[in-house]
Structure 1
Amino acid sequence: MTRLGWLVPRTLGGRVVLVLLVGLLTFHVGSLWLHQAGTEALLGTTWESGLAERLVSAKRAVAALPLAERDGTAHALSSASLDLHWTAEPAVNLVEEASSRIEALRARLGELVPASDLAGLRLGYAGQGAMQADPARHLLLGALPLADGSWLNFSATLLRSGSPEHATLLSTTAMGVGILILALFVVRLIGRPLRALSEAADRIGGAGPQAPIPDEGPREVRQAAQAFNRMQGRIDRLIADRTQALAAVSHDLRTPIARLRLRAGFLDDAEAAQAIDADLDEMEAMVSATLAYLRGDAETEERRPADVVAMVETLCDAATDAGAAATYAGPPQARLTCRPVTLKRALANLIDNAAKYGGGAQVELEDRSDRLILQVQDHGPGIPEAELEAVFEPFRRLEESRNRGTGGSGLGLTIARQAIEQHGGTLQLSNRPGGGLLAAVVLPKPRH
């Protein structure tokens, strides 16, 4: 934390209040400044109107008098903000400044009074011509010709001009935009730690160990992160303990299964011995399948390039050797960076299901630039539409086709979908129009 870190509140609520307070104070000061600019603009407009009217009135009054009385009358009409005097020749020999401000002022004065009353008006700033003045006073110097060729000379304190309507609109707009920006910042400040928690929650149950959430930020966020990390640790330990317990059970069960298998061999009743062997095979398959399912996300196999076609052809040959009809159609090679053992286990479950419950497996593969599309078809009875998603639930078996007589454990499709989703892919089941089941697998190719 920086040396000024003690100024930052430790709670999320305190930080939100601090941000709002600083922001509102900043925008309030800015609004006051813009309001002051608007007030000056309004005063400038009033000053222009007064200057134009006084010049026209003074011109008319002085022009109506004899020459001897004109200068005295001009001085009498002067004030602290407007100094007037009359001369036969212009006392202010101005080289008129062709600036936008002078031109705007001339145009403005012409709008406030009849243009003919200010015809020939000369304008400039103090420091030009014969009438010298202190530039710090911001004086406007001018000379207005009379009908007989004489001149009414004047100097006036220069005020800033502008549009008060535009200044007010600017002030309101700045305040609204400022509050909007401040609100967006506050929402982002509050939402950032919540988004981190949400993303971490989504990662729970994913492949591999999960990194803990950083323990930083306001007190409430730190407490939530600490509680979340403790929860994630408990979940990881629970999964590890469960997997370890099942592995131990699987290992311990193999010894009595082997003993039972050995004793069954000494039975005189061959039919009974064969039945016992079948039950022991089913028991061993169930234990192995359950362990493979529970091991799921704890899979430590590294990704490496592999030929998916070689996997499929090997599995089809194995199914054919076992007496089932299994064929492959597709390209001779399709390489994919994957976990080969995990992916092969998933494809084996799909092909075995099709061969065992659907009377044979027809595997088709399409190799596209960004993904592999693999379809496993059979000619069996299919699955009721209402059960197409339910069969992916662990230990879910259908009465008509998935029964213990076939040796199924209810985990084949669950393990297959789990393994495919670990590769970022999808597995969907659908009934074929002509009969049978279609398992569609989409495996995206990693971008390099």
Structure 2
Amino acid sequence: MRRGIGWLSPSTLAGRTVLTLLAGLLAFHLGSVWLLERGVRDALAEARENHVADHAAMAARVVGSLPEEVREAAARVLSTPTFEAAWDRSPVAEPTDEAALAPLKARLVQHAPDLANVHLQLGLAAPRDGGPGRIRGAMRLADGSWVSFAASAPNLAPVPTDASLASHSAMARGIVLASIVVVRRITNPLRRLARAAEAFGKGASPVPLPESGPLEVREAARTFNAMQARIHRLVADRTQALAAVSHDLRSPIQRLRLRAGCLDDQEAQRAIDGDLDEMEGMIEATLAYLRGETESEEPRQADLATILATLVDDASDRGATATYAGPDRLPMRLRPVAIKRALANLVDNAVNHGDGARATLEERPESVTMRVEDDGPGIPERDLEAVFEPFHRLDAPRNRGTGGTGLGLAIARQVIDAHGGTVSLANRPGGGLVATVRLPRAPVAATQAPRAAEGAPA
């Protein structure tokens, strides 16, 4: 058995789940730290913008309210290490309102609306002694003089106020998607195991599962492989044993039939032949049911309407009352031989036990529905499900005297289940029984289908 390759790849499902959770938490923590740092930088950038906008508006307001002889001194008083202000009747260097600075100008005016009344102009200034970039601005006062300033350049790009929330959301979505991918890879072996168990339960031949994945999954796959091999071997041995018994029984049955033919009592001869026919029918039906668990038929395109209509015509040719209502053609992907056996059992049940059969076929976009109705005595409600069990026969009036072996409905359900459909019985309100079969229109899965013997009535 393959072991794990260390703490980076734990061998157990629990270890891999914990590792996935830890990886997600670590990614979220690192992302949160990065977002916090980014948020601090954005807050500082916004604070620098507010600082420049507030100082520029204050300088224009204060200097503009003073006499001209003290304005230059007042501008120097209002200067700080990060904001230099000056006053002159004309700007010392006329700033160029470059297009790149238009968003910054709009944000400064938004921070300090008074700047909209002083014809604010902005331009880039050369950095001082290799320091950070600077901007130069000029504001025209009411008397035509100018207050100019120079300050460290804030971020030219806008600072989104919801950047942290958006980044957290994007990071959380990324972590969720990554976790889903990782968890799906961890649980893929479990899904394969579930599909294999479902297919094997419908009669598929054993297909060994790859023993890969976490330790628990590898152990489950190994146990499942051993289990399906044992079950398949047991079924094969049982079928082989019954086939041998059936072969051995044919010889004494034929000898009894020959001896019965020598009897002078014709009535006794007919009774013995009837019993021998029933014995042969029971043997063939039993083998047919058992072969349904081990044999297969590949699905192919076939005409379901033709199959059902042909069965009804065959019943009519035998003298029974049988009718068909439905489309003339209904091509579907199915196993035609197995479906024909299943539907033949339902039609024969209606003919033998209900004095006739009325078969209908309805087509829908995703499924088809078939109904086989009769006018017989029906079935007690408590037995509507039990009659699908192998060798289950009802008392009179639907009894063994009509030729049933108790396997026809079991074979029908076995076939329909293998096609992914359903079959059910219900008593009609006006009397009689209706068998309803529903089959999906989707392609049949690659599972093994039963191959029941034709004409094995319930």
TM-score interval (norm. to shorter):
0.7 to 0.9
Q: What letter matches 2:211 in structure 1? A: D
Contact 2:125 2:135 in 1 (8 A): yes
Give how far 1:9 is off: 3.6
Q: Which of 245, 249, 254 in structure 2 is aligned with 1:249? A: 245
Give the aligned partner of residue 413 of structure 1.
409
1:204 match: secondary structure: helix
- Residues 1:233 and 2:229 aligned together: yes
Give how far 1:91 is off: 1.2
Give the aligned partner of residue 105 of structure 2.
103
* C-alpha separation in 2, matches of 1:173 and 1:220: 35
Give the aligned partner of residue 122 of structure 1.
121
Give the aligned partner of residue 26 of structure 1.
27
Give the aligned partner of residue 312 of structure 2.
312
Q: 1:20-419 alignment to 2 at 5 Å?
A: 20-55=21-56, 58=59, 60=62, 64=66, 67=69, 74-75=75-76, 77-98=78-99, 99-111=101-113, 114-115=114-115, 119-127=118-126, 137-145=132-140, 149-160=144-155, 166-174=162-170, 176-178=172-174, 180-181=176-177, 184-185=180-181, 187-266=183-262, 272-302=268-298, 305=302, 307-308=306-307, 309-317=309-317, 319-320=318-319, 325-330=320-325, 334=329, 339-358=335-354, 360-366=355-361, 368=363, 375-419=371-415
* C-alpha separation in 2, matches of 1:373 and 1:301: 22
Contact 1:35 1:171 in 2 (8 A): no
Q: What letter matches 2:321 in structure 1? A: A
Question: In terms of mean alpha carbon deviation, does 368-377 or 411-420 score higher?
Answer: 368-377
Contact 2:358 2:373 in 1 (8 A): yes
Contact 2:369 2:436 in 1 (8 A): yes
Relative contact order, higher structure (CA 8 A, sep 6+): 2
Q: Name the CA shift for 1:284/1:241 in 2 (closer, same or farther; >3 Å).
A: same
Q: Name the CA shift for 1:425/1:8 in 2 (closer, same or farther; >3 Å).
A: closer
Aligned residues: 432
User: Could you tell me the TM-score, scaled by structure 1's length?
Assistant: 0.79
Q: What letter matches 2:19 in structure 1? A: L
Give how far 1:174 is off: 4.3
Give how far 1:81 is off: 1.4
Q: Name the CA shift for 1:259/1:136 in 2 (closer, same or farther; >3 Å).
A: farther
* C-alpha separation in 1, matches of 2:433 and 2:52: 96
* C-alpha separation in 2, matches of 1:334 and 1:64: 101
2:209 match: secondary structure: coil
Question: In terms of mean alpha carbon deviation, does 413-422 or 298-307 score higher?
Answer: 298-307
Give how far 1:372 is off: 6.7
Alpha-carbon RMSD across the aligned residues, in angstroms, is 3.9
Q: Name the CA shift for 1:85/1:348 in 2 (closer, same or farther; >3 Å).
A: closer
Q: Name the CA shift for 1:142/1:405 in 2 (closer, same or farther; >3 Å).
A: closer
Give how far 1:295 is off: 1.0
Contact 1:38 1:164 in 2 (8 A): no
Contact 1:139 1:155 in 2 (8 A): yes
* C-alpha separation in 1, matches of 2:68 and 2:327: 118
* C-alpha separation in 2, matches of 1:251 and 1:238: 20
* C-alpha separation in 2, matches of 1:174 and 1:330: 59
Contact 2:88 2:147 in 1 (8 A): yes
Contact 2:387 2:409 in 1 (8 A): yes
Q: 1:431-442 alignment to 2 at 5 Å?
A: 431-441=427-437
Contact 1:372 1:443 in 2 (8 A): yes
* C-alpha separation in 2, matches of 1:191 and 1:302: 30
What's the CA shift string for 1:245-267, capped at 9, x where partnerless? 22111112212222333344455
Q: Name the CA shift for 1:390/1:100 in 2 (closer, same or farther; >3 Å).
A: farther
Give the aligned partner of residue 451 of structure 2.
none
What's the CA shift string for 1:291-319, capped at 9, x where partnerless? 111111433345564642334323432x3
User: Could you tell me the TM-score, scaled by structure 2's length?
Assistant: 0.78
What's the CA shift string for 1:139-197, capped at 9, x where partnerless? 01123445665444321112338668534433554455455445544554454333332
Give the aligned partner of residue 452 of structure 2.
none
Contact 1:432 1:438 in 2 (8 A): yes
1:429 match: secondary structure: strand
Question: In terms of mean alpha carbon deviation, does 222-231 or 328-337 score higher?
Answer: 328-337
Q: Return 5+ residue gaps in structure 2 as ranges.
A: 445-458
Contact 1:42 1:162 in 2 (8 A): no
What's the CA shift string for 1:396-431, capped at 9, x where partnerless? 111123444444221122123323444555433333
Q: Name the CA shift for 1:61/1:293 in 2 (closer, same or farther; >3 Å).
A: same
* C-alpha separation in 1, matches of 2:57 and 2:433: 101
2:194 match: secondary structure: helix
* C-alpha separation in 1, matches of 2:435 and 2:111: 87
Q: Return 5+ residue gaps in structure 1 as ranges.
A: none
Q: What letter matches 1:141 in structure 2? A: R
Give how far 1:290 is off: 0.9
Contact 1:122 1:142 in 2 (8 A): yes
1:298 match: secondary structure: coil
Question: In terms of mean alpha carbon deviation, does 301-310 or 274-283 score higher?
Answer: 301-310
* C-alpha separation in 2, matches of 1:199 and 1:326: 43
Q: Name the CA shift for 1:123/1:368 in 2 (closer, same or farther; >3 Å).
A: closer
Q: Name the CA shift for 1:327/1:424 in 2 (closer, same or farther; >3 Å).
A: same
Larger Rg: 1
